[in-house]
Amino acid sequence: MLRETVQIMTLINGCCNNDRNCQRMLYQWLFDYALKISYRYIHQQEEAEEMVHEAFIKLFKNIHRFEANRDGDTEALLKGWFKRIIVNTCIDQLRKVQLNIISMDQHPEQDIYADKQESGLDKMAYDEIIEAIRQLTPVYRTVFNLFVIEGLSHDEIAKTLDISVGASKSNLSKAKSNLRKMIAERSGIKNYV
């Protein structure tokens, strides 16, 4: 644990000094993690990758602001800080293309990005859940991700997306309803609700 912390701190310090080798190593270490997060918000693989690259640019530009001397696991703190950058980058992109777009092209991608530590069963369940979430409209998918996965409150979501609290609650309810229907259809369960 101490060795990993020292290695992470070495990378962070190197990135603060614009060391290209440290930037490359940090990029390689965090790329799958970042793409997995981006892909929850951005439907198309190329665009999700573009958001990851933008997030890395922001990370490298602002890494000197990372408070590495705080108490806690340096890796978890860095990942949490970077996750916030990725999510905000994706939300900014969704704002640009208007969150009220109803549908996007449905291209089932085989490359779902899971952590390297996941087992086969974890990956299978992850693939199924992500595929169902990806089929939601951009508005429903974004609110669902922010509430369920990121743990934001409806007040925080409303401020982040510049919508009302009621709209956030309504979009979450509709997202959950649509997910229930999709899962019921996939499992062959008749839904009489």
CA distance 162 to 158: 5
> What distance in Å separates the CA atoms of residue 86 and residue 11, rounded to the nearest whole number?
19
**Domains of the chain, residue spans:** 1-97, 104-193
Spatial contact of 115 and 36, defined as CB atoms under 8 Å apart: yes
CATH class of the domain whose range is 1-97: mainly alpha
The predicted pLDDT at position 133 comes to 84
Same fold, 1-97 and 104-193: no
Phi and psi for 57 in degrees, rounded to 5?
Answer: -60, -45
Q: Name the architecture of domain 104-193.
A: Orthogonal Bundle (1.10)
Its pTM stands at 0.65
Q: Which of the four pLDDT bands, split at 50, 70 and 90, describes residue 69?
A: confident
Q: How far is CA 135 from CA 1, 150, 164, in A?
A: 39, 19, 24
Q: What is the pLDDT of residue 125?
A: 63
Q: How many CB atoms lie within 10 A of CB 73?
A: 14
Of 22, 30, 14, 145, nearest in space to 88 by CA: 145
Asked if pLDDT for residue 186 goes beyond 80, the answer is: no
Q: Among 62, 52, 63, 56, which Cα is nearest to 93's?
A: 52
* pLDDT per residue as tens digits for the range 128-153: 777 888 888 888 999 998 998 888 99
Q: List, for residues 103-130, the tens digit of each pLDDT value.
A: 333 334 434 444 445 444 444 466 777 7
